[in-house]
Structure formats: C-alpha cells, structure tokens
Chains A and B, each alone.
Chain A
Amino acid sequence: MLFNYSNVLIFSLVGVGFILVTLLVGSLMRPKNPTPEKLSTYECGEEPIGSAWMNFNIRFYVIALVFVIFDVEVVFMFPVVRVFKEWVANGTGVVVLVEMFIFLLILIMGFIYVWAKGDLNWFKKIMK
C-alpha cells in the first residue's frame, strides 16, 4: 500500500520536473527585453487605477464557508456508504440507513436554514 503512495510521490515529482525543464528550455530560447510599459498591469490600454488587491464581495466568503461544512459531510458519508452493501447483506442495513438519514437530516436542516436566510442567492435584497 505504501508502495503505491510512493508512486504518487514519484509521479508528482516527475510532473513538477517536466514543467521545470520546459520552463528552463523556454527561458534559454526566448528573448528578454522588458520595458516599463510592457511590465505594467494590463487593463485594455487604460492606465490602471489603484491596485487589484482590494476588498471583494463577501458572497464569495459565505459560499466558501458553506462549502467547507458540506464537503466535510461528503467526506463523512464515504466510510458509511463503503460498508453499506455488506451491512445490507448482513440484514442490518436498516440501522445504517436510519443513522445515515439522521446525519443527513441534521445537515439538510442546516442547508434549509442557509437557503431560507438567502445566503445561496447570488442577488440579494438588502433593504426589506
């Protein structure tokens, strides 16, 4: 088993090495004569006003938070569904099913709450 993970490591190292070599070959081949105009930030020919590192919309942050909760849910579901077939064969499938539903139900209630609060809406009415 560990042998297989060492394969993963070697594979990713080969991947990074391939990219390094390509970039190295490229850096030997290509011209290099930068000018201040060339290195300025691209904004369709206009002079860029201010930096792009500014405050961005909170919606992206909310989406990311909700994602983390549900992604953990998915991860917790995997071990249960992995053994579900064997439990059904044992005749104890109902117990697992009920437990899984209770787990799902808690999260679905959270999901409904988020939905009802309007956090899943991309367009929001701020004034009510």
Chain B
Amino acid sequence: MPETLITILKIIIPFAIIFTFVPLLVWLERKGSAYIQDRPGPNRAAVLGIRLGGLIHPIADVVKLIFKEDICPSQANKAYYIAAPFIALSVACVTFMVIPFAAPYTRDGHIFTFQAAQLNVGVLYILAMTSLSVYGIMLAGWSSNNKYALLGGLRSSAQMVSYELAMGLALIPLIMWSGSLRLNDIVTLQTAQVWRWNFIYEPLACIIFIIAAFAETNRTPFDLPEGESELVAGYHVEYSSLKFAMFFMAEYVNMVIASALIVTLFFGGWQIPFLPTEVLRENAQMILNIVLTVSALLAIIIGFFLILKFKKRTYGDKRDYEVIVLGIPAVLAGFTLILFLLFFGKIPLSTTAELWITAILQIGTFLFKTLFMCWVFIWVRWTVPRTRYDQLMNLGWKILLPLAMVNIVITAVRMLLK
C-alpha cells in the first residue's frame, strides 16, 4: 500500500473507533444504570419497528441536538464561549493517537505499527494532552458568565490539576520497569502471560492510576464539577444544542481514552491472554476457524432465541415483528458461515493474511478490554455516591500523592535488589 493511504487510514480509523464507542457508551450507560436500578431503561425509539434494545436512542439524541436552538447568553464572552467546546473535544480525540491497537510487524524492512503516531515520548505526550483538557472546561466555566458555571469550572480545574500529579507519579514505576516511554514497548514487555502484566507487578500504581483517571474524567465519585444537586450542570450549564453535545461527547471520549490507557499500561493492551503474537501468527488458520465457528454458533443460538420470543399482538404494530426481522437473518448468517467454513476452511492462508488476522484479533481483544473498562466506569458511577470536595482534595494531595512517591522508592529498591 502506498504510504499516504496508510497515513490516511491510520488517522481515520482511530476517529471511527472513538465515534462508534461514544454512542455505544451512551447506550451502555443508560441501559446499565437501568438494570442496576431494576428498570427496563431506554426502549422506545424505533426505526420501522426495530429498536435494538434501545440502541436507536443515541441516534435520536443526535438528531434532537442538531435541531435544537443554539443559545449564546448575551452576557457571555463570545470568543471563548465558542472556543471552549472545540478545545474540549479535539484535545480529547488527539490523545487517542499514540495508543497501540495491535502488535507491530516488520515487512521488507519496514516496521508497520498499529497506532496513528509512534512517538518516542508516548507517555509524556499523553500527560501533556490530558492536562490540556483543563483549558476547555476552565474557559467554558469562565466565559459563560454564570455563577454555577464558574464554580464548576474552578472546581474541575483544581481537581484535574491535583489528580494529574498522582497520575504522573503513578506512571513512573512502569517506565522504570520497561525503560521506555513508548506505549508499544510497555505493552510488548508485558507479554501474553497474565501474571506478567503490570497490575500484578505494580498493584499500588494501578489503583492510584485508576482513581486518578476517574477524577481526571470528572466521573462519579468525583463528579463535583457537575454535581446536579449543587451546580445544576456545572461548567456547561449555559451550553445548548451541538455545543452541549461537544461537551457531552468529550466526556465519553475522555472515558474511552482513560479506559484504553488503563488497559494499555496495566492490563496488557492488545495482548491476548496466553496467546503470544508468534503463536497467533503460526496458528492463524486454526484460530480463525475456531473464532468463526464460535461466532456462527452464537449467531444461530441468539437468532433462535429471538425467534422463539415472537408473539403476535404484544404491541399490535411493527414492533411485534422485530424479533423475526433480527432473528432470521442471524440464523441464516450463522448457517452460511458454517457452510463457508466447511467448504473453504481448509484453504491455506497467505503470510499477509496471517498477519492481518493476528492484527484483527488483537485489535478485537484490545477493544473488548477497553469496553469492559468503560463498563467499570459506568458501574462505579451508578454504585458509589459522590464525595465531598474537601474529601476529594484530601484524597488527592494527602493520600495518593505520598503513596505514589513511596511506590517509586519501593520500585527502585526492588529493581536494585533483583
């Protein structure tokens, strides 16, 4: 492939991943909170009777937000008011580009990496970019000329600034172990053995980093900047229409990035447990066949389950037939896949195909781990109550920061004695 095409793909694919994750997470948040609170959750929006368990709702939300009137308060500082959502969202997206999605491979002397930019200073870049997101929130809070927004912005910036220290210090032991600031090297050194992942080596750093990530993304239990009961909505109280959507998206993009970082740094990144890259490449065909067979069987089982749920006159309209419309194609697709495997499953694969299958499996694993980590974020949000602001600052400055420093000393001594 020509070099420019690769560059374009490398830039488009991370964006595509981010912007498919955001509606998915909005859905997961609403549905997950609903199940945690023992209620059905979103299930009304439908396209031709197809609801997909509420997955249509994010689309309906976007359509609604596009058609809403955009209000800019007359008292506000117009330039900063408009600049703030830009900064918030674009900074959130840019962090994503140093995260590796799969093992790099060498071909004809070229190293092909599955990350948009292979920077020598990956970890520093991430710290720099995450700290830039303070500007978006700060400007939004200040420029709206609203007391709630100002308080939210101030709280948020103080909180993010405090936890950034703990976050940076928690990363230092990892760099000591790996001797590299490249995220790809950090993942490669963790290997496919689960007991060599960093959360086993550095449990304290892992816990500090996860807590700091919750605070950095302004998620519950640290969502004081937008505590509804005190500040209505915090720094984005004056924003409406698409500008509000930008902040809303930025929050979820930040969550995706925090999860991706936690996975990359502590939970083995793209490493598939107990299946190293070389083993994957050698047995690509067998593994592909197994994966396809399992997914075909799953499709058939889910399809049958859906078809069995068909009952006439539950709603008395098109929605009755949703299970049929989804179930029959699933069963058919499953059987087609199995037939395909029976006929073509034995054809040997080319080397390129093996490399790509490995890469796709690793990307899938990485995205699955990230999604699970995002679910942990949502899970915590609907389980743990909000902290008080002085407790938050105490935790950041008086507990996490000294602990992180002690952890550095412990790691250094451990490395010397080893």
Given contacts A26-B66, A56-B154, contact A104 B405 (CB under 8 A): yes
Cβ-defined contact, B69 with A64, below 8 A = no
Q: Which of B41-49, B86-94, B310-318, B327-335 contacts A (4 or more CB under 8 A)?
A: B86-94
Cβ-defined contact, A8 with B117, below 8 A = yes
Say whether A102 faces chain B, with CB atoms less than 8 Å apart.
Answer: no
- Give 1 or 0 for each of A38-54: 1 = CB within 8 Å of chain B CB: 11111110001001110
Say whether A113 faces chain B, with CB atoms less than 8 Å apart.
Answer: no
A88–B177 Cα distance when bound, in Å, is: 11
Contacts of B71 in A (CB 8 A): 34, 38-39
Cβ-defined contact, A26 with B241, below 8 A = yes
Given contacts A11-B11, A115-B398, contact A82 B175 (CB under 8 A): yes
Q: Kindly provide the distance from the CB of A113 to the nearest chain B CB, expressed in whole angstroms.
A: 13
Q: Kindly provide the distance from the CB of B144 to the nearest chain A CB, expressed in whole angstroms.
A: 8
Contacts of B415 in A (CB 8 A): 84-85, 88, 93
A64–B153 Cα distance when bound, in Å, is: 14
The B49-84 residues at the A interface (CB cut-off 8 A) are 65-75
Contacts of B397 in A (CB 8 A): 115, 120
Cβ-defined contact, B394 with A41, below 8 A = no
A8–B126 Cα distance when bound, in Å, is: 12
Given contacts A30-B70, A74-B172, contact A42 B146 (CB under 8 A): yes
What band does the interface of chain A fall in when counting residues whose beta carbon is under 8 Å from B?
A: 35 or more
What band does the interface of chain B fall in when counting residues whose beta carbon is under 8 Å from A?
A: 35 or more
Max chain B C-beta neighbours (<10 A), residue from A15, A57, A67, A85: A15
Name the one of A1, A7, A43, A108 contacting B120, with C-beta atoms under 8 angstroms. A1
Contacts of B241 in A (CB 8 A): 26, 30
Name the one of A12, A48, A53, A100 contacting B94, with C-beta atoms under 8 angstroms. A12
Given contacts A15-B90, A70-B165, A78-B175, contact A8 B97 (CB under 8 A): yes
Which B residues have a C-beta under 8 Å from some C-beta of A?
A: 7, 10-11, 14-15, 65-75, 85-86, 89-90, 93-94, 97, 116-120, 123-125, 127, 131, 142, 144-150, 154, 157-158, 161-162, 164-165, 168-169, 172, 175-181, 232, 237-238, 241-243, 246, 389-390, 393-394, 397-398, 401-402, 405, 408-409, 412-413, 415-416
- Nearest first, the 8 A-B pairs at minimum CB distance are A85-B179, A122-B390, A74-B168, A15-B90, A26-B242, A7-B117, A39-B74, A4-B117
Listed A/B pairs (12) with beta-carbon separation below 8 Å: A4-B119, A11-B11, A42-B148, A56-B154, A74-B165, A81-B172, A81-B408, A85-B415, A93-B416, A104-B409, A120-B393, A120-B398
Q: A14-B11, A31-B69, A94-B416 are in contact. List 7 more A-B contacts (CB 8 A).
A: A7-B11, A11-B94, A32-B70, A41-B73, A78-B123, A88-B416, A111-B401
Which A residues have a C-beta under 8 Å from some C-beta of B?
A: 1, 4-5, 7-8, 10-12, 14-16, 18-19, 22-23, 25-27, 29-34, 36, 38-44, 48, 51-53, 56-57, 59-60, 63-64, 67, 70-71, 74-75, 77-78, 81-86, 88, 93-94, 97, 100-101, 104, 108, 111, 115, 120-123
